[in-house]
Amino acid sequence: MQRISITGPESAGKSTLAAELAAHYGTVFVPEYARTYLEAHGPRYALADLEAIARGQLAAEDAAAPQAARLLFCDTDLLVIKIWAENAFGTCPAWVEAELARPRYALTLLLAPDLPWAPDPLREHPDPAQRWHFYNLYRAELVSRGWPFAEVSGPPAQRLALARAAIDAQLSS
């Protein structure tokens, strides 16, 4: 079973794409645990909350893995926690960094923030320049870590096609 991470800035369509890909490949996806956590605890957070979210995300992935077919789609990953923590608090917990050093995903899909902003009380950065700033941070991290990734952009149908092509290439390699 291979895990595929879907990452990128807020309102880039990660949740929608994760559900579409899981349906297409006949498997399951792991929703973003941060949403569940923040809906239960409120939108304000501290670094300790980000650590709890990171642990919850990993636990949700591990719990979903036995139900997955050959692929498990993960709507977000610890890279999001790293960038979120560094942006909000200027630091990332050492154990998150250590987890990021361990290979976990066969492929990461990096979603561009070129979709219209979808307002949500749990989202923080509606400014397009900020969204692209975060996209560039994700991209730089993926490149520096040498992780296999594919950039996904454009309207919804194009995004799905680009993602499927990248996944199919990964599966055939």
For residue range 8-44, what is the model confidence (pLDDT) as tens digits?
A: 998 889 999 999 999 999 999 999 999 899 889 988 8
| Confidence check: pLDDT of 96 > 90 | yes
Tokens of 147: 């992780």
Return d(Cα 159, Cα 13) in angstroms, integer.
9
114: phi then psi, degrees, rounded to nearest 5: -100, 15
Nearest 5°: the CA angle 10, 114, 90 is 35
- Give 80-95 pLDDT, tens digit per residue: 999 999 999 999 999 9
Q: Which of 146, 125, 120 is nearest to 8 (CA)?
A: 125
Return d(Cα 155, Cα 128) in angstroms, integer.
16
* pLDDT score of 126: 67
Tokens of 5: 């991470």
**Which domains can be identified in the chain, with CATH numbers?**
2-172 (3.40.50.300)
| Confidence check: pLDDT of 60 > 80 | yes
| Confidence check: pLDDT of 125 > 70 | no
List of residues 6+ apart from 39 with CB closer than 8 A: 122
Q: For residue 12, how many C-alpha atoms fall within 13 Å in the half-sphere facing its CB? A: 26
pTM of the model: 0.93
**Element housing 25 (H / E):** helix 14-25
Return d(Cα 131, Cα 147) in angstroms, integer.
22
Secondary structure (3-state) at 125: coil
Residue 53 in contact with residue 34, Cβ under 8 Å? yes
115 or 106: whose pLDDT is higher?
106
